[in-house]
Amino acid sequence: MIPTTTSPRPAVLESQTRIRFDHCDPFGHLNNSAFLNYFQNEREDQVEAAYGLDIHAFFRKTGRAWVVGQNQIVYLKPALVREFVTIQTSIRQVTDSSMLVEHIMLDEKKEKLKAILWTKFVYIDVRKSERASHEPELMALFDDVVVKEETPALFEDRVAQLRGQMKAVTQKA
């Protein structure tokens, strides 16, 4: 179900995508709600490429899937029509039936922080319409790839931490 590998799997996944015209407002800025779609679509592709986990095939086989229980997002700079952006995602926390995934959008050169999203996913058995526990092979994957550094408990504190890190990087350059 989940390919095993002996090589280390990355904790932070990264990809780039272009902001599309039809996802933007009249000012050429990515629409606020469209950020969620960009983040989730990139995460889905990243997980399949990095970990070999096709969540749709997994659902068809097991009847289990993750649903969004909560989103927290902050918009820091606009993402502009036709701009390439970098999206980084990582699992920050895991329980037996949920996970906290962080999504970060940066400009193409990774010099400007555009948005940060925390999504709490809840694992459910769709056939029973109830919360489920992650299978042992999923927990093994998560244990392998969850970010090991401590994550602040509050979203606002994490945003401040990331902004401080970006400021330090740009001051060095």
Q: What is the pLDDT of residue 169?
A: 84
Percent of the chain with pLDDT over 70: 96
**4 found inside a domain:** no
**7 found inside a domain:** no
CATH code of the domain in which 94 resides = 3.10.129.10
CA geometry: angle 25, 28, 30, nearest 5 deg: 60
**139 found inside a domain:** yes
The pLDDT-based confidence of 44 (bands split at 50, 70, 90) is very high
pLDDT digits (tens, 9 = 90+) for 98-156: 999 999 999 999 999 999 999 999 999 999 999 999 999 999 999 999 999 999 999 99
* Strand (E) or helix (H) holding 160: helix 155-172
Contacts 24+ apart (CB under 8 A), 147-153: 147/11, 147/12, 147/90, 147/91, 147/92, 147/102, 148/11, 151/92, 151/93, 151/100, 151/102
**How many domains does the chain fold into?**
1
Q: Quickly tell me which residue has 């996970």 as its tokens.
A: 99
Q: What is the pLDDT of residue 6?
A: 58
Q: What is the pLDDT of residue 171?
A: 85
